[in-house]
Amino acid sequence: AAAAPVAAKRRREMVPLVRLTNPGRLLWPEQGITKQGLADFYTEIADWILPHVAGRPLSLLRCPGGIAEQCFFQKHPWAGLEGAVRQVKVPDDDEPMLAVDDLAGLLQLVQASVLEIHPWGSTAERPLLPDRITFDLDPGDGVPWQRVVEAAFDVRLRLQKHDLQSFVKTTGGKGLHVVMPLQPGPDWDAVKRFAQMTAESMAAERPDRYVANMAKRVRQGRIYIDYVRNGMGATAVGAYSTRARAGAAVSTPLSWDEIGPGIRSNHFTVANLPKRLAYLERDPWDGFLSLQQHLPSAGTHADPAV
């Protein structure tokens, strides 16, 4: 449920101070958004983002010189990283990964010029057991926005046939993400197989609209249903993470009755999202965190109607 809004300034006084170096550095020069501005943004929306990124291994896109300079992904500890960012051990990796638990951790990421937070689909505590599936809808060149919206509804409908509820968010880029919470249990292989089957059956049914194949050349005019986000170590950008792209867009959860022609993927931004959240009457992803749902049994998978 939506938390009572807490003024950014008041909240800043409630957390251990994270000292920002170069607070005036411009990260999104065209919008005039500085490092301090990003810290203020996360301070204001902390209750919204933390449930989606806290306690998970993270891939972090760092842009020390802002989006106009070079950015790079980092998932292992670097020198200078301080206490609020925790190191976590994950399978099949000799080096620890990173996780945050609270606003102090988020602000430590801001201090490191992290402009995108990409969590795993599992918690750091149970890295072998995914608890969410992400269908990443990637429109090829020339695909109208309305087709992307319809694709999200198509994924939703297909999941509903298994009594599975899903949720939609903008990516802050070009497409949409349909996210399905899952009660931890099945391993990554099972989850990826389910995601692949869903994508492939959609592509088989509507080959004019969908492809489930990674090869870029076949995407022209169609939407790639990228199910590959759902393996151990794979990530998708987190709900409420900013994007290191022009316009300072934020990956924003929407309710199913909001998505449509009026809200493109880059609609919500560092500048306008706090106001949306302050005035929302209910969480657009109401129920996401408490939903206890399970993959259909293996027998159902073979059903061509999947």
**Which positions touch ligand ATP (CB under 6 A)?**
59, 73, 118, 136, 138, 171, 173-175, 226, 229, 235-237, 265
Beta carbon nearer to ligand ATP, 173 or 221: 173
Beta carbon nearer to Mn ion, 33 or 225: 225
Q: Which does 73 bind (CB under 5 to 8 A by kind): ligand ATP, Mn ion, none?
A: ligand ATP
Q: How far is the CB of 134 from ligand ATP (least distance, A)?
A: 8
Beta carbon nearer to ligand ATP, 173 or 231: 173
Q: How far is the CB of 263 from Mn ion (least distance, A)?
A: 16
Q: How far is the CB of 136 from ligand ATP (least distance, A)?
A: 5
* HEC profile of the chain: CCCCCCCHHHHHHHCCCCCCCCCCCEEEHHHCEEHHHHHHHHHHHHHHHHHHHCCCCEEEEECCCCCCCCCEEECCCCCCCCCCEEEECCCCCCCCEEEECCHHHHHHHHHCCEEEEEEECCCCCCCCCCCEEEEEEEECCCCCHHHHHHHHHHHHHHHHCCCCCCEEEECCCCCEEEEEECCCCCCHHHHHHHHHHHHHHHHHHCCCCEECCCCHHHCCCCEEEECCCCCCCCECCCCCCECCCCCCEECCEECCCCCCCCCCCCCCECCCHHHHHHHCCCCCCCCCCCCCCCCCCHHHHCCCCC
The answer to whether 134 touches 176, Cβ cutoff 8 Å, is no
Q: Which does 44 bind (CB under 5 to 8 A by kind): ligand ATP, Mn ion, none?
A: none
Q: Which does 241 bind (CB under 5 to 8 A by kind): ligand ATP, Mn ion, none?
A: none
The answer to whether 178 touches 134, Cβ cutoff 8 Å, is yes
Cross-strand partners of 33: 28
Q: Which does 256 bind (CB under 5 to 8 A by kind): ligand ATP, Mn ion, none?
A: none
Beta carbon nearer to ligand ATP, 106 or 250: 250
Residue of minimal Cβ distance to Mn ion: 226
Kindly list the residues in this chain that would bind Mn ion in the complex (CB under 5 A).
Answer: 136, 138, 175, 226
Q: How far is the CB of 61 from ligand ATP (least distance, A)?
A: 8
> In angstroms, rounded to a whole number, what is the distance separating the alpha carbons of residues 99 and 104?
12
Q: How far is the CB of 210 from ligand ATP (least distance, A)?
A: 15
Q: Which does 118 bind (CB under 5 to 8 A by kind): Mn ion, ligand ATP, none?
A: ligand ATP
Beta carbon nearer to Mn ion, 118 or 162: 118
Q: How far is the CB of 226 from ligand ATP (least distance, A)?
A: 6
Q: Which does 40 bind (CB under 5 to 8 A by kind): ligand ATP, Mn ion, none?
A: none
Q: Which does 85 bind (CB under 5 to 8 A by kind): ligand ATP, Mn ion, none?
A: none
Beta carbon nearer to ligand ATP, 73 or 78: 73
> In angstroms, rounded to a whole number, what is the distance separating the alpha carbons of residues 123 and 101?
11
Beta carbon nearer to ligand ATP, 171 or 198: 171
